[in-house]
Homo-oligomer: A and B are copies of this chain.
Amino acid sequence: MATRTDRPVVGIDLGGTNMQVGVVDSTGRIIGRAKKKTRAEEGPAKVMGRIHDGIREACEEAKIPARALLAVGIGAPGAIDPVTGIVLEAPNLRWNHIPLAKTLAKKVGRPVYVDNDVRSAIFGEHQLGAGRGCSELMGVWIGTGIGGGLILRDELYHGYTNTAGEVGHVTLFPGMPPGSTSLENNCSRTAIVERIIKLIKTNHKSIIPKLADNDLSDVKARVVAMAFARNDRVTKMVVESAAENLGIAIASVVTLLGLQRVVIGGGLTEAMGERLVGLIRRSVHKHAAPEINRHVEVVKTELEADAGLLGAAMLARKGLSSRSRTRVIRA
């Protein structure tokens, strides 16, 4: 007979546009899935209703009743209090002080845990992916913005403010005008695309407009990856410079914290893979203190787009035996 902790959990990656729901068994395998639109504009009650629907659908696919679940974990964008499970501020969801854990626990009848989406993803890598067996770890997620998370002494680190891991806010260029000093404002996919477009508009040749069907209003990570792979000069120059700067900021943090490993993830990383991670790795090793370079590894996400979902699932599973500050909100 299955013991209590053998029971499956649900992990949810709650984004501003879509939510990914997965039933995850005790080995970390996803045995049922559901994907739904978030539709934040309809308000929190409707969104939570759709989360509940997603849980039911994923359980159906996994052929288990929702009451068989051990717990539910959610990675949500924005500032989260993991102790109370309240979403303090999530601009992408238009949420302010929404008691997500408590409300959903009542609906589903199972304990619910909530944490920040990027932190969940990094916890996923720590438990099941590229961060396994590593007690001191940073994740850096490069996409629309730059997010991050820290595993310190084998546990997710939240800091006093529950906001720890915000590597995107590291100041890289002091003295520059406000809005252009931070890592995020220089090295996110958004910043990279902006710089490429600026160069194109000043008559630098590039295959980006062709790859993006001449629509430069929303250049995707996939397009940047293609242009880079085809040796587009402008794209190579901008991406290489961003990777160099990412490496400098990461080297500072790795040296400050004496980290063992850095996992690089996020949309741009999934699209570019080792092409991007290799550049960042080279820069980290160039700029970190020598005694750090003997140890530190810079690796690519293993769980890719499932990192958030799997991490949320692992938070739900871990939560019950955790010594950390995260408290469960019971149904």
A-side interface residues toward B, CB under 8 Å?
Answer: 79, 135-136, 148, 150, 152-153, 157-167, 169-174, 244-245, 248-249, 251-253, 255-260, 287, 289, 291-292, 295
Contacts and interface: CB of A to CB of B under 8 A. Distances in A.
21 contacts: A135-B160, A136-B159, A136-B160, A152-B152, A153-B153, A158-B258, A159-B259, A160-B259, A160-B260, A161-B259, A162-B258, A165-B256, A166-B255, A166-B256, A166-B258, A169-B252, A170-B252, A170-B255, A171-B249, A172-B174, A174-B248
Nearest to A255: B169
A258 B160 contact: yes
A255 to B, nearest CB: 5
Given A79-B291, A174-B245, A291-B79, A258 B169 contact: no
A245 B256 CA distance: 17
A275 to B, nearest CB: 22
A256 B167 contact: yes
A286 to B, nearest CB: 10
Contact of A163 (B169, B258, B287): B258
B79 A164 contact: no
Contacts of A152: 152-153, 157
A245 B257 CA distance: 20
Residue of A148, A153, A165, A257 contacting most chain B CB atoms (<10 Å): A257
Contact of A173 (B148, B167, B174, B292): B174
Contact of A161 (B249, B253, B295): B295
Nearest to A137: B160
Given A152-B157, A165-B256, A169-B289, 15 more contacts: A150-B257, A152-B152, A158-B258, A160-B260, A161-B260, A161-B295, A163-B289, A164-B258, A166-B256, A170-B255, A171-B287, A173-B174, A174-B244, A174-B245, A174-B248
Residue of A136, A245, A249, A258 contacting most chain B CB atoms (<10 Å): A258
